[in-house]
Structure 1
Amino acid sequence: MDGQPVRAADTAAPSYFLIESKGNWAGPGAGTFLLDAVALAEAGHRVRVYLVEDGVLSAAGRDVPEVERLAGAGVEILVDDFSAAQRALDAGRLSPHVKLAGMGTVAAALAEDGCTGVWH
């Protein structure tokens, strides 16, 4: 040891809050962004994905491959409650791996020390 105190921030893995606004049909960019979330989680980082606007449609249904992959990697998957309501998607029509959340959740997450936010 070099005599320097170890701070809590030095020992914690960075966290990422990734916001996806595009549906999975919007081209390869949306799918690649979600794969980036998987890679970050597999590297040991805390990762949360927030699906907003047309991104919420990616969580519609019971067996969505992209959502299954995220959940399998330990990614917390949040769906914007307002965007879901605007598209007539209630909790019963969404993957069981997701949780409805509001903008307050986004604000709190992005205000956390060590959290990096990325919007796609």
Structure 2
Amino acid sequence: MDERTATPGYLMIESKGNWAGPNAGTFLRDAAALAEAGHRVRVFLVEDGVLTAVGTDVPEIERLAAAGAEILVDDFSAAQRALSATTLSPHVRIAGMDAVAAALSEDDCRGVWH
């Protein structure tokens, strides 16, 4: 059995942008630490959180990707901010709220919203 399937999974939903204050990146660093510890981690960036995924050199996104976390960007929030796949990190995937609903319906998923 894969160690990631034996430990709880997390859906970490980030709604704040990376300029929201001195601790803005803490939530994503916590998500990366969980992934590095062997947990299955999915991060869903929504509202102003989608702006964290803009560009190719975002340390929090790079660390999450290196740790094996799945990083999703809310399609509606991205469209409202005129963001497309070409402006976002190559480590993220645009997804809808149906991805959140599916993840939260899994037996071992723990949802955390920030």
Output the TM-score relative to the length of structure 1: 0.89
Amino acid across the alignment from 2:13: I
Alpha-carbon distance between aligned partners in 2 of 1:12 and 1:114, rounded to the nearest angstrom: 9
1:19 to 7, 13, 21: 13
The residue that corresponds to 2:33 in the other structure is 39
Amino acid across the alignment from 2:36: E
Give 1:29 shift.
3.1
The residue that corresponds to 1:99 in the other structure is 93
2:66 to 51, 63, 72: 72
Amino acid across the alignment from 2:14: E
The residue that corresponds to 2:44 in the other structure is 50
> In the comparison of the two structures, how many residue pairs are matched?
110
Question: Superposed, which structure 2 residues align to 1:78-93 within 5 Å?
Answer: 78-93=72-87
The residue that corresponds to 2:104 in the other structure is 110
Q: Percent identity?
A: 78
Alpha-carbon distance between aligned partners in 2 of 1:93 and 1:31, rounded to the nearest angstrom: 20
Q: Deviations for 1:72-112, whole angstroms, at most 9, x for unmatched residues?
A: 11111000000000000000000000000000000000000
Alpha-carbon distance between aligned partners in 1 of 2:37 and 2:54, rounded to the nearest angstrom: 27
Amino acid across the alignment from 1:84: A
Give 1:67 shift.
0.6
Q: What are the ranges of 5 or more consecutive residues in structure 1 without an aligned counterpart?
A: 1-10
> Which SS does the other structure have where 1:71 is aligned?
helix
Please identify runs of 4+ aligned residues in structure 1 that moved more than 2 A: none
Output the TM-score relative to the length of structure 2: 0.93
Q: Which has the larger radius of gyration?
A: 1
Which of 28-37 and 98-107 deviates more? Answer: 28-37
Alpha-carbon distance between aligned partners in 1 of 2:71 and 2:13, rounded to the nearest angstrom: 10
Cα RMSD for the two superposed structures: 1.0
